[in-house]
Structure 1
Amino acid sequence: MELLSVNAGRPTAVDYTNAPSGRTGIDKRPVEGPVRIAAPGPEGASGVAGDAVCDLRFHGGADRAVYAFAREDLDRWEAELGRTLAAGSFGENLTLRGLDVNGALIGERWRIGDEVVLEVTGGRIPCRTFAGFLEEKGWVRRFNESAAGPGALLRVITPGEVRAGDPVKVVHRPSHGITVARLHHAATADRTLLPETLVAAEWMESGLLALARAYTEKYGEESGER
């Protein structure tokens, strides 16, 4: 398992985002040399040095400090879309190889290189900006329904520097069975599954956690029985 690329984006004005600033940092490009990863400050920016987060409602912050996507899943999308997808094409900060990103458990921890430890908090929910950037018809629905999975949002447990080629190691796995893919499916396709995801509540990204709690409060835990 290895880190293929570290990717960062600059703030760019576009006409396809509903961000209050009218700008986006979704166009991530590989960056050379060691890159520092650390928990964002109080304003809730990216955890990757030099990376822009322009819509703090949905991106950045402690629970969404870093976004990772598997090269294998980019390859699946390349075949489906018939176009080349370079590292960073899905707005991911980290392009990984050999790691089952979507099969990772919520709360799972990865060590990258010698220093950095990241913790999985959920999967990426696609938005208008993502759809506009890719310029693919029906993109939000296609992305949500794809077996390729949403990629993983991460919080920073131990800061440090990473670079392309660093090894990646899973150093902790919680005892529950809620994966990135399972939580994403519950949030986007079958909300009756949301109550069961609350076993991972202490690690979940805040927006997904609020959704799961609100659904459970409204409909009850029995809705998640199978």
Structure 2
Amino acid sequence: METASVLAVCRVHQLLEDESAVGITAIDKRPTEGPVKIHKLGLRGDIQADRYNHGGEDQAVYAYSQADAEFWSQALGRELPPGVFGENLRVAGIEATGAVIGERWKIGLDVELEVTSPRVPCATFQRRMDQPQWVKRFTEEGRVGTYLRVIHTGAIQAGDHIHRTFVPRHGITVGQWFSEPTPDLVEALRDAEADGEIRLQDEYHTKFDAVLRRFGR
């Protein structure tokens, strides 16, 4: 069994001009060398240009699995190095998309992160990948990775081991919630939050209402 670990820690390399309303993007993430401090809003030296849709404590860190990157590398016929998805952490031996909402990862000596929500692809991401219909394709495949909030700060670097310290009983993964949200999942997540097992970001409650309306609830 492969040991779960951090393959690369990535932060913004340069701001790029973008066609979005913000006009720039910080999606160009690249691996760093040595330890990087991590605080409640993410990695030191990293930024989010579009802070309305990205960042904040509930989306402080974005992780993407090497297995999913390899899937896309084969599908697109090109190398996809760490950071190309805009991720902060390229991880191996652990499924970011398959992480249970609310589960916690201990990384290295001090850092502990909590899985919060799936990444929702946008037009900036499509321009970054230079693939027509990329948002549709990425969405349909459902290999979206996960955002995390920082529970305990510290330093993190490539090679650090990842240990799951807590996995909620509800069992719903970020991938399930992204690809197939149903009223049953809504109720399970609501119950888990009401029981104090997890803490959901505000966007979930807006999505809950939309899911229930779609199913006529």
Is TM-score (shorter-chain normalized) higher than 0.5? Answer: yes
Alignment of 1:71 onto 2:66: yes
Q: Percent identity at matched positions? A: 40
Aligned-partner Cα distance in 2 for 1:66–1:209: 21
Deviates further, 177-186 or 105-114:
177-186
1:17-166 correspondence runs (5 A): 17-19=20-22, 22-40=23-41, 47-147=42-142, 149-166=143-160
Aligned CA distance change for structure 1 residues 112 and 169 (closer, same or farther; 3 Å): same
CA contact (8 A) 2:172 2:185 kept: no
Give the alignment partner of residue 208 of structure 2, picking from 212, 215, 223. 212
Cα 1:205–1:114 change in 2 (3 A) is same
CA apart distance, 1:194: 5.8
Structure 2 equivalent of residue 174 of structure 1: 168
1:6 aligns with 2:9: yes
When structure 1 is superposed on structure 2, of 49-58 and 3-12 the one drifting more is 3-12
- Farther-moved stretch of structure 1 (98-107 vs 152-161): 98-107
Write the distance in 1 (CA, Å) between the matches of 2:161 and 2:214: 44
TM-score by length of 2: 0.89
Cα distance in 1 between the residues matched to 2:136 and 2:21: 18
Matched positions, count: 209
Structure 2 gaps of 5+ residues are none
TM-score, normalization by structure 1: 0.85
Gaps of 5+ in 1: 41-46
RMSD: 2.0
Q: Is the 8 A contact 1:122 1:180 kept in 2?
A: yes
Q: CA–CA distance in 1 between the matches of 2:96 and 2:176?
A: 12
